[in-house]
Amino acid sequence: MEESRIMEQYRIWRENAKADPDVVKELQEIEGDGARIEDAFYRDLAFGTGGLRGVIGAGTNRMNVHTVAKASQGLADYVKKHYEGGARKIAVSYDSRIKSDLFAQVASGVFAANDIQVYIYPQLMPTPCLSFAVRNLNCAAGIMVTASHNPSKYNGYKVYGADGCQITTEAAAEILGEIEKLDIFKEVQTMDFQKGVDEGKIHYIGEDVYTAFVEAVKGQSMLDEKTPVDKDVAIVYSPLNGTGLKPVLRTLKESGYTNITVVREQEQPDGHFPTCPYPNPEIREAMALGMEYAAKYQADLLLATDPDCDRVGIAVKNQDGEYVLLSGNETGMLLLDYICSRRREMGTMPEDPVAVKSIVTIDMAERIAAHYGVRTVNVLTGFKFIGEQIGLLEKKGKADSYIFGFEESYGYLSGSYVRDKDAVDGAFLICEMFAYYKTKGVSLLEKLEELYRTYGFCLNTLHSYEFDGSAGFAKMQEIMKAFRAGLTHIGPKKVERCLDYADGLDGLPKSDVLKFLLEDNCSVVIRPSGTEPKLKAYISVSAPDRAEAAAAESRIAESLKEIIK
């Protein structure tokens, strides 16, 4: 029965999917290939709080002009139900990925056909610029066409609410309900993009909005006139062929950092990512070319931002002159300590300061925050939950209480001007922090070791296990059931408690996440990725020193691998 349903979908697409020649060609190519047809049509591409994300191609389980248009019609119907007249406005941005510009135009045409005013950047812009535009232009919603740091075969579609945050679970469910009502070929209203522009239904976002964003980032500086800092540090920067080039360079140069070398091969937008197949600054391979540049030009600091410029990774020199990559947790802790210490010195710490982090982010951050009298709020994985906390503070008239939020996955935000992680802000503050400490004769690695001496050593690692296709999706569900059945030990560590977030916990939304609290202040978090066909395991180990922590982490990781594989 399932096979006949899949083949019927394939037949319908062969007859109706004519809007993109690439889709037409692929549908012809897969004729007779049951496995490829099944993978393309066994389900509709999942829509959730992260919007859409999937492989570019033909079919209901792919990113293409038809699935994008259908999702856009669902979002349009949602906006029309909740907003009246002039309040029906949607902001649009896109990154350098394959077909991102096309998907942005298709979505804009759907919104315009539904009498919703569209505001789109005239060129590719980072995710934080989209979050900023939603609030700056008082839009009802926003979309960012991106697959963030995924490989080049992927694209995606993030949806934002009027608050500039990615949509909530409730909003995602309601939008999904609207999407599921639609016939993908008969009930989607569309308009030619250029016609929408000519008729005044699609507007280009002005330079003033972009400039306001850059000024907001520069306003996050923790320096004052009493603190002289030598900004002539040698910086190598790579936008990893994404959107970061213009906003990152503009922000840094306008702030006095002019000694910057850009990695030439990764400078210009290119959705094929020819020198970094996985354009994710969390991965050493993505940073490799930048590290070669850093060594060649004897740079003090290497920065790299992912394609939609919401994550930033860094490398710094050690005492032997070798470049060392810092993890998202390490960079986040350094930034948290820097912001807290500088605010204290400048007298700008708010009355009830708040830092926000995800439950999988290093626990040591809480000890740093507590030292400065800063309250830590823990939220589920996903920066939208950090943005949500900013919104809750804003409703109480305490938006200024928020001083920093970060995730272990290289996402940082120091202000409330946007409601998503911002690698422009991250790059700016990292350069400032680096220059500040260098002026004092202190390296970031030395500062990090000082934090470990003060608060105790903590090692956090992430392990990902990939499960592609329908069989992989089912396998992940089986593995989560196995974990929920109960474990007494993970590696050498005894399980003291298991926190299951499936039914909601500590006031957090329901989420398919398990956290195992282990002896000796260690922990393991297991969760399926919301945006990729992966199961993720986050290991946290506290130990007297780095060597002992690494040994324990290795045994825990090996145990998890056996359970999962």
Burial class (CB in 10 A: 0-12, 13-18, 19+), 292: middle
CA–CA distance, 243 with 272 (Å, rounded to integer):
14
Instruction: Assess contact for 412 and 312: CB atoms under 8 A.
Output: yes
CA–CA distance, 255 with 239 (Å, rounded to integer):
19
Q: What number of other Cβ atoms are within 10 A of residue 138's Cβ?
A: 11
Instruction: Assess contact for 261 and 300: CB atoms under 8 A.
Output: no
CA–CA distance, 83 with 147 (Å, rounded to integer):
28
Candidates 72, 100, 108, 148; catalytic one: 148
Backbone angles phi, psi at 39, to 5 degrees: -65, -30
The type of residue at 183 is D
CA–CA distance, 506 with 9 (Å, rounded to integer):
43
- DSSP assignment letter at 528: E
Q: What number of other Cβ atoms are within 10 A of residue 440's Cβ?
A: 9
Helix (H, G, I), strand (E, B) or coil at 152: coil
**396-399 own/partner pairs: CB under 8 Å, 24+ apart:** 398/350, 398/352
| Helices first, then strands: H and E counts in the chain | 18, 21
- Closest residue by Cα to residue 335 from 304, 312, 318, 307: 312
Would residue 108 show up in a list of annotated catalytic residues for this protein?
no
Instruction: Assess contact for 420 and 387: CB atoms under 8 A.
Output: yes
* H/E segment holding residue 459: strand 457-466
CA–CA distance, 243 with 260 (Å, rounded to integer):
17
Task: For residue 539, give both structure tokens.
Answer: 């290991």
Instruction: Assess contact for 240 and 268: CB atoms under 8 A.
Output: no
Instruction: Assess contact for 131 and 310: CB atoms under 8 A.
Output: no
Residues noted as catalytic: 148
